[in-house]
């Protein structure tokens, strides 16, 4: 039983914290890096008081905890759907109360940071003679732990749940190669795709908003934008992996070379659409039309080049990253000369 606990803990809990280390570091920096060490205690006390006294603030915190719960839920789906962890389904052979106990323990461990912070908020609420607030907070967290535990139990009991969803709609969009690549990004790489696109669009928007007629210098915005575009390399590398493993049959289909190229070109264009919309929004002020077109055109060329490299050579992620950095270096020099 103890060894089972250890294995369970290793796969379901430790793996989660190892995977989310970047996220926790970010949260830690936001909460503890913005104020002087000497005022940390007062800052957090004021924050908790604000949470307890302002319903809207409390709502935000509850929303954040809910989002964290979704993150945990996604991890559970990923882990239990992974062939490496299929032996965990052996837990179904245990008496139901033991399996449920496993799930509750794991759920509580996965929601550790939320439970910890909720406990502090509750303690402050009790100290301020507002015990009902403490009950509300603890009640919500208990519900969250129970919901995650139940989801874990459900996943264990019914392996492959939600995977075999039926399409009810009578209308079927035409399936093209580009649409398969896009669907792959949206279905299996949601997080990375959203992060890359939000980063790229936000950077573009914020840096171009700073431009004025008196101080019009596009070198830095372009370099930052191109860096964000090189971030698309990770998406392309994953797409290419999909092509060489699960879309291998496409190679032998009678599709002309020009049409194949056009499909990749269209895919890159669709991927660049959010940035093009941002550029359109900022034209003609603060960015001139000709410069907006140059940004969009060069951005498109960079994306297409990044994909073409993978079509020409099979590269490991590390080698591809090095090549991207070299290309970025070349672009850096060219941008300095062009807009210098």
**Which residues of this chain interact with other proteins, rule CB under 8 A?**
160, 163-167, 172, 174-177, 180, 183-184, 187-188, 242, 245-249, 252-256
Q: For residues 49 and 241, which CB has a smaller minimum distance to other proteins in the complex?
A: 241
Phi and psi, residue 163, nearest 5°: -75, -40
Rounded CA separation 45/73 (Å): 30
Residues 6 or more apart from 64 whose CB is under 8 A from it? none
Closest CB 238 distance from other proteins, rounded Å? 12
Closest CB 176 distance from other proteins, rounded Å? 8
Instruction: Specify the DSSP element, H or E, that contains 224.
Output: helix 219-230
Tell me the CA distances in angstroms from 157 to 15, 90, 91, one per residue in order.
21, 10, 9
Q: For residues 185 and 234, which CB has a smaller minimum distance to other proteins in the complex?
A: 185
Asked if 137 contacts 125 with a C-beta cutoff of 8 angstroms, the reply is: yes
Q: 93: how many CB neighbours lie within 10 A of its CB?
A: 8
**What is the three-class DSSP state of 265?**
helix
Closest CA to 12 of 78, 101, 83: 78
Closest CB 175 distance from other proteins, rounded Å? 4
Token pair in block for residue 220: 């830095």
Closest CB 310 distance from other proteins, rounded Å? 18
DSSP 314: -
**What is the three-class DSSP state of 128?**
coil
What DSSP assignment string belongs to 87-102? GGGGGGGS-HHHHHHH
Closest CB 250 distance from other proteins, rounded Å? 8
Q: For residues 266 and 276, which CB has a smaller minimum distance to other proteins in the complex?
A: 266
Closest CB 157 distance from other proteins, rounded Å? 16
Q: For residues 255 and 273, which CB has a smaller minimum distance to other proteins in the complex?
A: 255
Q: For residues 29 and 186, which CB has a smaller minimum distance to other proteins in the complex?
A: 186
Token pair in block for residue 334: 């060219």
Q: For residues 164 and 333, which CB has a smaller minimum distance to other proteins in the complex?
A: 164
Closest CB 78 distance from other proteins, rounded Å? 13
Q: For residues 83 and 95, which CB has a smaller minimum distance to other proteins in the complex?
A: 83
């Amino acid at each position: 039983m103890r060894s089972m606990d250890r294995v369970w803990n290793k796969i379901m809990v430790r793996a989660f914290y190892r995977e989310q280390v970047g996220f926790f570091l970010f949260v830690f920096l936001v909460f503890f890096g913005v104020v002087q060490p000497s005022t940390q205690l007062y800052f957090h006390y004021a924050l908790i008081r604000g949470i307890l006294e302002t319903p809207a603030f409390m709502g935000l915190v509850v929303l954040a905890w809910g989002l964290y719960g979704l993150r945990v839920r996604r991890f559970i789906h990923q882990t239990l759907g992974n062939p490496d962890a299929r032996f965990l389904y052996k837990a179904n052979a245990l008496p139901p109360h033991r399996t449920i106990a496993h799930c509750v323990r794991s759920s509580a461990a996965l929601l550790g940071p939320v439970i910890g912070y909720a406990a502090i908020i509750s303690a402050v609420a009790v100290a301020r003679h507002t015990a009902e607030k403490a009950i509300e907070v603890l009640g919500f967290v208990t519900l969250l732990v129970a919901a995650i535990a139940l989801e874990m139990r459900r996943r264990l009991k019914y392996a492959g749940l939600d995977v075999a969803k039926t399409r009810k709609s009578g209308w079927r969009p035409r399936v093209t190669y580009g649409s398969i690549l896009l669907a792959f990004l949206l279905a299996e790489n949601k997080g990375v795709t959203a992060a890359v696109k939000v980063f790229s669009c936000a950077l573009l928007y914020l840096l171009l908003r700073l431009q004025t007629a008196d101080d019009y210098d596009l070198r830095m915005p372009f370099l930052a934008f191109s860096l964000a575009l090189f971030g698309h390399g990770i998406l392309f590398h994953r797409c290419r992996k999909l092509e060489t493993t699960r879309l291998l049959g496409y190679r032998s289909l009678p599709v002309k070379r020009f049409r194949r190229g056009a499909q990749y070109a269209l895919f890159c264009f669709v991927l660049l659409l959010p940035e093009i919309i941002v550029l359109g929004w900022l034209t003609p002020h603060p960015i001139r039309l000709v410069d907006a077109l140059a940004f969009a055109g060069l951005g498109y060329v960079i994306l297409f080049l990044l994909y073409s490299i993978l079509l020409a050579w099979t590269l490991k992620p590390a080698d591809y990253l090095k090549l991207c950095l070299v290309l970025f270096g070349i672009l850096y020099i060219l941008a300095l000369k062009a807009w210098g």
